Structure 1
Amino acid sequence: MGGLVRVAGGALELPGGAVVRFMRTLRLPESGTHPLPPGLGAFPLRAAADGPDGADGAVDQGPDGGGVLLPVLQREAVWLGFAASAPVALQVRAGAVCAVSGRPWSGRLAQDPQNYLVLPRQPWLDGISSGRGTTRQFVATPPGPGPAAAAGARLQLQVFELRAHARARAGAAQDRAGWGAARPGGRSGPVPGVPLAAPAPGEAVRVDAAATGLGAGGRMRQEVYPDPRPLDDWRDEPSARVWVHLVSAARWEQVTGRPAPDSPVDRAAYASAGLPWFAHYDEDAPDRPDPAT
């Protein structure tokens, strides 16, 4: 392992030509299954070690730190948008859980159930598998006591490249099959298809928000496209792995030396989408009056 990971132009660039953007959306109510919420632009992103001097650069891939930062408010949810110039397999870890399968995390690729995404065929991931072809949003929760709170909410990405024999016969056409259907907020991706088989009810493992600071929010349908290749086409070890830290606006400013940009997610955005606005969303509003004034 040790492929270069870098932040460039607000996106995370991974080995194999994969690109990940972290996109804003609205938090869905935690009861019921809801339509896909709109995309509201990308979160600012920077390497954790950059400090105040710049947003772009190489990313530290240390096992317990480094990685990248994005400032997430309680009234926001995160979805991951993908692109790739060649086929790669991407794993997404949320706490002790594989976000793709909903099962306990394993850093090895598996297909029963499939615990990774195939890029560029997969255009996005909205959250953590909750069974029956649904997913629960990636959201940040107020930190609790203990050492986990200091780490904040974290995702981990691992990218695997094809072996040489698979690259020689791989064609990008099969990975692009089905692209082109428009989705809310400017999303585009595969036309509706058959969801990947999900764990039976009760088998999906949920993120422990109190322990990780990463919450599993509202539920929606999630299309995850099965890998058409044999598992042996992929390398055994990841080319790179990187932590993604969802931090508060205050923590962002502490690390970077600059305030987090204003968020377009506000009460009006919720009203426009016909979604409820909860009182605790006001607690992190950027336009609160300074109590000293």
Structure 2
Amino acid sequence: MLDDLKITFHRTIRVPDNDETNDLPPSMGHFPLFSASDYAKKLPPNMAMKGGLFFPMYQHEAMWIEFESNKCYAIKIYVGNVNAISGEPATETAATSLRRRNLLKNNVNIQDYVVVPGQKWLDGIAVELGKVRQFVAMPVGSGYSVEAQATGEETTAGLQFEIIRLDPPLRKSEPDEGYTISIFISDEKTMDLSVNPSTTLGYVRGLVADAMGLPVNDLRLLYAGKHLDYNKTLHSLGITSGATLCSWERLFAGGCSEMALAVGGRIRQNINEHRKTTRQKTNTITFNVQILNSASFQSVTGRAPPPTPISAETYASYGFPFFTLSEEPTSVSGDFSSVQSIGQIDKTADPALNFPTVDAGTGLPLTDAEVEEVGFLNPKGAKRQFKFVWEMAQDINRAATTAI
């Protein structure tokens, strides 16, 4: 729980990995979450260093993510170091800007985040308009993960979240008096930033991470030799004009007990578009959610792992349903052309299964004729430094104009 945002990781069945597209699979219970700091001495060192949370998964097990809140949030989700919505790397490069520029020329949406409320669930990576490929756990180093296929490396694994709350616009008050602070990056480089007393340290961290080409959660800032709360303002931390902060990068390595996310079958699911808003960004909150294989889970936590999940074949044999949700059409998906599903890599296709379909809102069964897209969602809210989709477009257009 962050503020009033609740994120739940659901166990589920693997949908058939073939040429068909499936309705939404059910929840088979929640994954238990544990703090990495509580088990730092027993976790693999690479997982202990990354911190955050972890939960157990079996090889080939599937999961989906649920979002619940009353306030508005924008959320970036990274599978390893690959954005689950856009397919772009967490550390953006010149190639990222070029790809986005070409997409904008073709009037393609470059949104790389989800907006809550509005986006109730995320079952996988956004491979096509209105379709995702299911999140499925595979061992780090196996070559199946989205990260390994998209980048050729597997340095991060697990999931990373970047979250900002979107507040209603503030009434204008007396402006804060601006001043300059410095960020010590290396012996040869110092970065000066214009700030004001109400600027949060998290906002400064985002600017520095962008300038250094790092994911926000890989950067640490120290002042007077101390780690500080990124949620607090510079004024409350006593960081005044002429102050110098030090930056350092956290480095991680891989590990054999760690799981990464690959993808399986297709699921019908829209990524809700974020329409332009006047809501104000707050500071970015980032955290890791790591995945430990179930074979190592008991030795780390002293608890028995959850039972193995039910198969799709068994679920179908009992006549249990999949679910559908009426959604407005979407223009949001990513470029995952280099990513194959487990079945595609193994050159196998799961048999087609017939599941009855139930409306996720009413719980009533649907006939095939009733399963249609209906416009009813109009997500509120706005969305590293964390940029809204229109801000990314403005940056790209500005860079193109400057280059002429």
| Pair in the same fold by TM > 0.5 | yes
1:82 equivalent in structure 2: 67
Q: Per-residue displacement from partner, 1:45-81 (whole Å, max 9, x unpaired)?
A: 11112239xxxxxxxxx99601111111124211001
* Alpha-carbon distance change, 76 to 167 in structure 1, aligned in 2, over 3 angstroms: farther
Aligned equivalent of 2:17, options 5, 18, 30: 30
Aligned partners of 1:157, 1:167: CA distance in 2, in Å? 30
1:50 equivalent in structure 2: 38
1:50 partner SS:
helix
- Taking the TM superposition and a 5 Å limit, the aligned residue runs for 1:1-293 are 13-14=1-2, 16-32=3-19, 33-51=21-39, 65-105=50-90, 112-144=109-141, 153-163=157-167, 165=169, 213-230=260-277, 233-235=279-281, 237-238=283-284, 240-266=285-311, 268-269=314-315, 271-272=317-318
Q: Per-residue displacement from partner, 1:212-238 (whole Å, max 9, x unpaired)?
A: 8320111111122112343x6342751
* Alpha-carbon distance change, 45 to 265 in structure 1, aligned in 2, over 3 angstroms: farther
Q: Tell me the CA shift for residue 39 of structure 1.
A: 1.6
Aligned partners of 1:25, 1:145: CA distance in 2, in Å? 22
1:258 partner SS:
coil
Q: Work out whether residues 72 and 248 of structure 1, in 8 Å CA contact, stay in contact via their aligned partners in 2.
A: yes
Coordinate RMSD, CA, aligned = 3.8
Aligned partners of 1:83, 1:274: CA distance in 2, in Å? 23
Aligned partners of 1:260, 1:212: CA distance in 2, in Å? 15
What is the identity, as a one-letter code, of the residue corresponding to 1:98? N
Identical residues among aligned pairs (%): 34
Aligned partners of 1:116, 1:220: CA distance in 2, in Å? 19
* Alpha-carbon distance change, 216 to 48 in structure 1, aligned in 2, over 3 angstroms: same
Q: Work out whether residues 26 and 75 of structure 1, in 8 Å CA contact, stay in contact via their aligned partners in 2.
A: no
Aligned partners of 1:167, 1:251: CA distance in 2, in Å? 53
Q: Work out whether residues 152 and 212 of structure 1, in 8 Å CA contact, stay in contact via their aligned partners in 2.
A: no
Tell which structure's C-alpha radius of gyration is larger: 2
Q: Work out whether residues 76 and 265 of structure 1, in 8 Å CA contact, stay in contact via their aligned partners in 2.
A: no
Unpaired runs of 5+ residues, structure 2, are 41-46, 93-99, 101-107, 173-257, 323-342, 344-404
* Count of equivalent residues: 208
1:287 equivalent in structure 2: none
Aligned partners of 1:122, 1:64: CA distance in 2, in Å? 31
